[in-house]
Structure 1
Amino acid sequence: MADIVASTGSMIVVSNRLPFVLKRDPNTGDLERKASAGGLVTAVAPVVIQSHGLWVGWPGIHLEDENEPIPESLPSDTTPTAGLKSEKVVAVLVDADLFDSYYNGCCNGTLWPLFHSMPDRANFSSETWRAYVKVNQSFAEKTMEALIRLNKDTTVEDSSSQTSNSTQCPLVWIHDYHLTLAANWVRQSAEDANIKYKLGFFLHIPFPPWDIFRLIPWSDDILQGMLGCDVVGFHIDDYCVNFVDCCQRRLGCRVDRKNLLVEHGGRTVRVRALPIGIPFKRFVTLAENAPKVVTTNQKIILGVDRLDYTKGLVHRLKAFELLLERYPEHLEKVTLLQIAVPSRTDVKEYQDLKEELDQMVGKINGRFTTPNWSPIRYIYGCVGQDQLAAFYRDAAVCLVTPLRDGMNLVAKEFVACQINQPPGVLIVSPFAGAGEMMHEALLCNPYETEEASEVIHRALKMPEDERTLRMNYLRRREKQNDVDQWLRRFLKAMGSVVEGLEDTMPTVMQPVTLDDFNDYLENYVGNKHKLALLLDYDGTLAPLAHHPDLAVIPPETKNIIERLANFPDVYIAIISGRNVNNVKEMVGIEGITYAGNHGLEILHPDGSKFVHPMPVEYENNVKTLLKDLQDKVCKQGAWVENKGALLTFHYRETPVNIRPDMVAEAKKMIKDAGFLAGQAHCAIEAKPPVEWDKGRASLYILRTQFGVDWSERIRIIYVGDDTTDEDAMQALKGMAATFRVAASHIVRTVAERRLPNTDAVLTLLKWVERHLHRKDLKRDSSSTLSFKHRSRHGSLMVEMSYDPDSGSNTPTSPDTSLQDAKTQTSTSPNPPHPEIHHVKTQTKSGSNDDAN
């Protein structure tokens, strides 16, 4: 226990499977635990046990009786999970058909090939995605049960033990691509229950680049689900960069690429490269104690892989065949021992892969076999770790050549078991995470068969001193960066490691600055076009409040809007869900346009007003619906706001536990009355069924103000924070710079960029003001470009002002500006501004002389 990495708080591990598999004894029918191998279980299970934590996962079997107890480990069990009591295990039970659709359909049919950059093998199905969402919700619910249980246990433990880790904030650690959505539901539920927690996520497979990831129809949900955590971990930097890039390009998040930070939902999410290791000492012990299983003098080229199309097994066999063809000196001297662990045997694609491998092995063996030797020994099945360690130890070469892989621990296990002298040689693919870390291994591109055969030949002929040197470096690094070190680094990133170490990289993004808008807006806004600012009010200009009357626009924001309204090239419209008179009263600025009730009412600066026609019957229905809502659902803090044409049912002050039923009833009443029920911030809006929204209103405002050809002459910035603003962002897509103020955990938006809060909106407005001032300065500077003309017959000098935009020369009055310009030029060796150049041109009899 002394070597266990300690966490400052209890740990809840959430993984697709429990750290052991449940199986039934064929004789008694009783459930039994079967140990699961793997670095995750080896490293994390002792920490869960030591911190009095819990493990949430699927038990590996579909139980008919949900109350059937999980058995304890056997007394003879010495695996890392032996001390994990059944009471510390939370089993997620899922219907067999639903689980198949989730696991085989979405996880392995869609996400697995896409994340491994093989889109041609991916299948997209809305049905399997819905199953994925539902199962993730089930995992989140069970995780929340575990967190509540742990929170209750903490009180008891705190009263009986002063050294318990439970006194610290518990850590929820979610694992892998099966559960990318769960974090957001856990976060929302924990915050509603006022439970403290930390959320971490680790992806054990690659994260693809943007051009691949964007193919996933639900990429938005996956990114926001992962961003529900405080720390998102990957194996290598490349995966981190891909993730940060996708967050910016798909979600419009503000990111810090240098420090690997993403701003989302008003939080800073830390993205960290945390390469996983193996239990190095354990594999060394296995290698030392394993009996010899290879009784041949031939050199063994070893391959150990799960039978999967990402592992490049077909390419490997082709490279080995080419090796024997090109270098006959290896005939009867080397043997390829390929171990293929069965996987997804019920899937036709994997059945076809096995058949192809069987045929290739038979073909190569048939071509090169001699009476005393076969070039390939092919084992299709599972191999025990003792036997596997012996294979690792005695192999001359290990081939780890996947087409794409997250890390591939086979490479690390081989290195740990290389205790013989002289050691063997490791060959890795650059497309595995191990290829980025294990620099002393030989790199081999599996797609280039000729190159791969040459690398294998080089490994077989490598001198002993070079083999020893390379392996010594590899072993030293893997021993230092073992699985415990991986766990320690993750806990350090989470701020949950006992040693007191903290993440040395920045953990919080700096507030939005003016310069953050330069790359996005500078070229778009430009200097030649008018600018239209279309702005929502609540949650955009004014922070959200518990009551609409308390949502007051900050004085600084109001002042800058007033200044912007005075620019001749700026047009401002406030488009709100409030009543038009109310939003004008709340903003209180003259000379701008106000649109209320999501554009049903529009008040122009000249006092003219547009009101969208409303069916007469709905005017009466509004009164009836208002009374019904007040009588039936206005309780425990809920109330209805009458906006004239619209009604808004507010439930922000209602207790969280009664909201779902209350909201469902309110929506039903609204729909039964013939209105549309629109979701807002802790509110439901009852809108008449007319073809009009903020999008249609925005287009109407722009057309009314600037004419039918407005899109050619106007630059537009739209900023909003609500689902109703999505209508405008969709209508203006491609024609405007759009921003969504998103402070909640999951917000799907068509906006090009996200802003964390109303302070960031203020910064955006400040950027606009700065840009306009610079625009005016450039215009003033260019307008003072002057040309001086001197008559050959006199000394009269006339200064000509040249406006490059108009292309005309305008003479200034000689008695007002000539002397000043003459004096200024004579006393200053340089022009007053670097942009101003004074050019003298002599004239002769009305014609220009040559400048020379």
Structure 2
Amino acid sequence: MSRLIIVSNRVAPISEGGPAAGGLAVGVYDALKETGGMWFGWSGDVLSSGQPQIKVEERGPVTFATIALMRRDYDQYYRGFSNATLWPAFHYRADLLHYDRHDFEGYCRVNAWLAQQLVPLLREEDVIWVHDYHLIPFAQALRAAGVKNRIGFFLHIPFPASQVLLAVPPHRELVEALCSFDLLGFQTAPDLRAFCDYIVNEANGTVDASSGGPLAIHAFGHTLHAAAYPIGVYPDEIAELAKAGERGKPVRTMKATLHSRKLIMSVDRLDYSKGLVERFRAFERLLEHATAQRNKVSFLQIAPPTRADLHAYQDIRLQLEGESGRINGRFAELDWTPILYIHKQYERSVLAALFRTAHVGYVTPLRDGMNLVAKEYVSAQDPENPGVLVLSRFAGAAQELDGALIVNPVDIDGMADALARALDMPLAERQARHRDMMAQLRENNVSVWRDNFMRDLQSASGATRTRGGRARAASGKKTAREVLVS
């Protein structure tokens, strides 16, 4: 029987009801806990001396296999190339890109080393699913070590247009490494188009869409497949979590603080890609133009810290603290603080309950692969009296959630107008928009995301490689469990 092996940069310390994690961790864990299998990756620990050792821990159907990084590896692979080069480039911030050749060498070295650590844990029929930009060379390293298993890759962040990707000096090496996978998954059709554009115009490859399924990519001497697989959530589970927390202390405290005011709410990691400064300024513009909203609405921004040892993230924190203080100083009254800016992490259950309380979900990244906060906000709403989602057109979720008010995150006036419209939207329109979005979320939940990817990985593998001298035939629609045992 095949196992599902998940590989990601970080194996998140997820526990039921524990602190909220990022979209990758939530999606991966929700997918893996149903099928069972192994989750392999960095533990989050950084060592100054000694030799890292794999720690294996069983938690129900999931085996967690984690390993620490040495300080040099962390600096070059994680802080350096992954987050100082790839992250800004893939989020269209070439102006923030920093490249160091030694960091790229470290990035490739750590991918090869991690692949070597995984090899002894693999079985012949395991299906390997690698996640995100930290691990682009991972399949290439596994193939060099002789691994023949099916290997898929899913990119959780945007894939940039060719002219942006060209700003990364080893762009060709990165795309060639991606072509060692059997199947590539992207969040949205625009991300897939950007990848195909590079293949055709920069790599002299070809793209074949004749099968009607995932695209067949021919480049760098490889044949692989690629498609868009928008990651989802379990909307009904989130709804129950939110409903259960309505009477909890955090929600009661928030309601007491609001004194019947309406609430606009955002939750983001503290990151320059999230459009936080523009969001604060649009709220300020709302208070400037819609004077009737003063002392009638509060804006709650929860921004947990992330990558605090990188200068770009230190800068955005200082900038946000300055903006919130300035806006509060301008508009606050003795009984009202317009912006509640909280720089800490909360449990998923608390966030779900707070989402249910908020009249407006305010999700306006400058670029984002999907943004599960948008989907979680919609899921958490009371269907009898739902709030309104204000959503950036540059979040992947905007491709699906057409019941949201879609905005351009650099248009400060446009966002302020959308906030005003959301706060005044009639109940019937709010209910209709929420109903349509919930139907979409149920139709494409996280199980559908996982099952579609695993089905196509089975088929893509059968089309491009043989095992034991015989090609595997493409299968029909199957669940992940059926794929793993076939």
- TM-score w.r.t. length of structure 1: 0.51
Of 237-246 and 488-497, deviating more is: 488-497
Deviation at 1:487, TM superposition (A): 0.5
Which of these residues, 173, 177, 180, is aligned with residue 228 of structure 1? 180
User: How far, CA to CA, are the matches of 1:491 and 1:427 in structure 2?
Assistant: 32
Bigger mean CA offset, 50-59 vs 61-70: 61-70
Distance apart, 1:38 and its partner CA: 5.0
Matched with 1:289 is: 244
- Is residue 19–residue 35 contact of structure 1 (8 Å, CA) maintained in 2? no
Q: Once the two structures are superposed, what CA deviation does each residue of 1:529-558 show, in whole Å capped at 9, x if it has no partner?
A: xxxxxxxxxxxxxxxxxxxxxxxxxxxxxx
**Residues in 2 aligned to 1:170 and 1:363: alpha-carbon distance in whole angstroms:** 55
Q: 1:308 to 1:47 in 2, by over 3 A?
A: closer
Is 1:20 the counterpart of 2:13? The answer is yes
Q: What is the alpha-carbon distance in structure 1 between the residues aligned to residue 143 and residue 56 of structure 2?
A: 31
Could you tell me which amino acid in structure 2 is paired with residue 272 of structure 1? A
Q: Residues 170, 115 of structure 1: CA spacing in aligned structure 2 closer, same or farther, 3 A cutoff?
A: same
Give the match for residue 307 of structure 1.
270
Task: Kindly provide the CA deviation profile for residues 797-828 of structure 1, in whole angstroms up to 9, marking residues without a partner as x.
Answer: xxxxxxxxxxxxxxxxxxxxxxxxxxxxxxxx
- 2:74 is aligned with 1:118: no
Change (3 A) 1:341 1:93: closer
% identical equivalent positions = 35
Q: Secondary structure at the match of 1:14?
A: strand
8 Å contact from structure 1 (residues 318, 449) kept in 2: yes
Contact map agreement 2:112 2:138 (CA 8 A) in 1? yes
Structure 1: tracts of 5 or more residues without a match: 1-7, 23-33, 74-80, 152-168, 504-852
Question: Which structure shows the higher helix fraction?
Answer: 2
Q: Would you say the 8 A contact 1:175–1:204 is kept in 2?
A: yes
Q: Corresponding residue for 1:59?
A: 43
Evaluate the alpha carbon distance shift between residue 101 and residue 39 of structure 1 in structure 2; reply closer, same or farther with a 3 A threshold: closer
Residue of structure 2 equivalent to 1:184: 140
Distance 1:117 1:9, change over 3 A: same
Alpha-carbon displacement from aligned partner over 1:101-149 (angstroms, at most 9, x marks no partner)? 21111111000000011100000110111111111111221232222xx
C-alpha separation between the residues in 2 aligned to 1:374 and 1:37? Answer: 28
1:140 maps onto 2:115 in alignment:
yes
User: Aligned pair count?
Assistant: 451
The alignment status of 1:101 with 2:76, answered yes or no, reads yes
- Number of the residue aligned with 1:512: none
Q: Hey, what does 2:168 align to over in structure 1?
A: 216
1:461-500 matched pairs, under 5 angstroms: 461-495=424-458
- For the Cα contact (< 8 Å) 1:11–1:47, is it kept in 2? no
- Deviation string, structure 1 residues 697-719 (Cα, Å, up to 9, x no partner): xxxxxxxxxxxxxxxxxxxxxxx
Contact 1:42 1:279 survives alignment (8 Å): no
Following the alignment from structure 1 to structure 2, what is the Cα–Cα distance between the partners of residues 65 and 197?
A: 32
Aligned AA for 1:221?
E
The within-5 A match list for 1:146-161 is 146-147=121-122, 150-151=123-124
d(CA) in 2 for partners of 1:35, 1:333: 31
Distance (Å, rounded) in 2 between the aligned partners of 1:35 and 1:289? 17
8 Å Cα contact 2:180/2:222 also seen in 1? no
Per-residue CA shift, 1:162-201, capped at 9, x if unaligned?
xxxxxxx42111110000011112123336xxxx421100
Alpha-carbon deviation of 1:46? 7.0
Unaligned runs of 5+ residues in structure 2 are 461-473, 479-486
How far did residue 256 of structure 1 move? 2.5
| 1:501-516 aligned within 5 A | 501-502=476-477
Checking the alignment, whether the CA contact within 8 Å between 1:19 and 1:36 is kept in structure 2 is no
The 3 A distance-change label for structure 1 pair 414 and 185 is same
Distance 1:448 1:102, change over 3 A: same
Q: How far 1:20 sits from its partner (Å)?
A: 2.6
Structure 2 distance, partners of 1:496, 1:269, is 11
Code of the residue aligned with 1:386 in structure 2: it is S
1:441 equivalent in alignment to 2:404: yes
Per the TM alignment, residue 250 of structure 1 is displaced from its structure 2 partner at its CA by: 2.0
- Aligned match for 2:192, one of 199, 222, 240: 240
**Relative to structure 1, is the Cα distance of residues 282 and 232 closer, same or farther in structure 2, using a 3 angstrom cutoff?**
same
Is residue 249 of structure 1 aligned with residue 201 of structure 2?
yes
Does the residue aligned with 2:72 lie in a helix, a strand or coil? helix
Q: Could you report, residue by residue, the CA deviation over 1:758-779 in whole angstroms, capped at 9, with x for unpaired residues?
A: xxxxxxxxxxxxxxxxxxxxxx
Greater relative contact order (Cα 8 A, min sep 6): structure 1 or 2? 2
Q: What are the Cα deviations for residues 298-350 of structure 1, in whole angstroms up to 9, with x where unaligned?
A: 00011111111111111011111111111101011111111111112222222
Matched residue type, 2:442 = K
Residues 47 and 275 (structure 1), Cα distance of their counterparts in 2 relative to 1, 3 Å cut: closer
Amino acid at match of 1:422: N
Q: What corresponds to 1:175 in structure 2?
A: 131
The equivalences for 1:616-635 within 5 A come to none
In structure 2, the CA distance between the partners of 1:250 and 1:348, relative to structure 1 (3 Å rule), is same
Secondary structure at 2:202's aligned position in 1?
helix
Would you say 1:264 and 2:245 are equivalent positions? no
Q: Deviations over 1:12-55 (max 9, x none)?
A: 11110124389xxxxxxxxxxx8874555555447656766332
Alignment of 1:24-103 (within 5 A): 37=21, 40-41=24-25, 44-45=28-29, 53-62=37-46, 66=51, 70=55, 72=57, 81-84=59-62, 88-103=63-78
Q: Do the aligned partners of residues 48 and 319 (structure 1) sit closer, same or farther apart at CA in structure 2, a change above 3 Å counting? A: closer
Q: 1:43 to 1:239 in 2, by over 3 A?
A: closer
CA distance in 2, matches of 1:362, 1:212: 35
Question: Which residue number corresponds to residue 450 of structure 1?
Answer: 413
The one-letter code of the counterpart of 1:321 is: E
Are the counterparts in 2 of residues 39 and 278 from structure 1 also a CA contact under 8 Å? no
In the alignment, the residues of structure 1 paired with residue 208 and residue 381 of structure 2 have an alpha-carbon distance, to the nearest angstrom, of 41
Q: Which residue of 2 aligns with 1:201?
A: 153
Q: TM-score, normalised by structure 2?
A: 0.87
Asked whether the equivalents of residues 52 and 69 of structure 2 are also in contact (C-alpha less than 8 Å), the reply is no
2:467 maps to which residue?
none
Letter in 1 for 2:360: V
CA pair 407-249 structure 1, distance change in 2 beyond 3 A: same
How far apart are 1:279 and its partner, in Å?
2.6
Q: Deviations over 1:568-590 (max 9, x none)?
A: xxxxxxxxxxxxxxxxxxxxxxx
3-state SS of 1:140 partner:
helix
8 Å contact kept, 1:14–1:143: no
User: 2:35, 2:240 → 1: CA distance?
Assistant: 27
* Alpha-carbon distance in structure 2 between the residues aligned to 1:450 and 1:49: 44
CA distance in 1, matches of 2:33, 2:261: 46
Equivalent position SS for 1:190 = coil
State the superposition RMSD in angstroms: 2.5
- Residues 1:94 and 1:325: Cα distance change in structure 2 (over 3 Å): same
1:495 counterpart SS class: helix
Aligned to 1:370: 333
For 1:384 and 1:18, the matched residues in 2 are separated by: 18
Contact persistence 1:302–1:338 (CA under 8 A): yes
Counterpart Cα distance in 2 of 1:376 and 1:35: 23
> Among residues 340, 361, 386, which one is paired with 2:349 in the alignment?
386
Say if 1:43 and 1:127 are closer, same or farther in 2 by CA, change over 3 A. closer
How much does 1:207 deviate? Answer: 0.2
Structure 2: distance between partners of 1:308 and 1:104: 14
Contact 2:36 2:61 (C-alpha < 8 Å) held by counterparts: no
- Does the aligned pair in 1 maintain the 2:20–2:348 contact within 8 Å? no
Match of 1:404 in 2: 367
Give 1:483 shift: 0.9
Report deviation, 1:265.
4.8
> How big is each residue's C-alpha offset from its partner over 1:583-603, in whole Å with a ceiling of 9 and x where there is no partner?
xxxxxxxxxxxxxxxxxxxxx
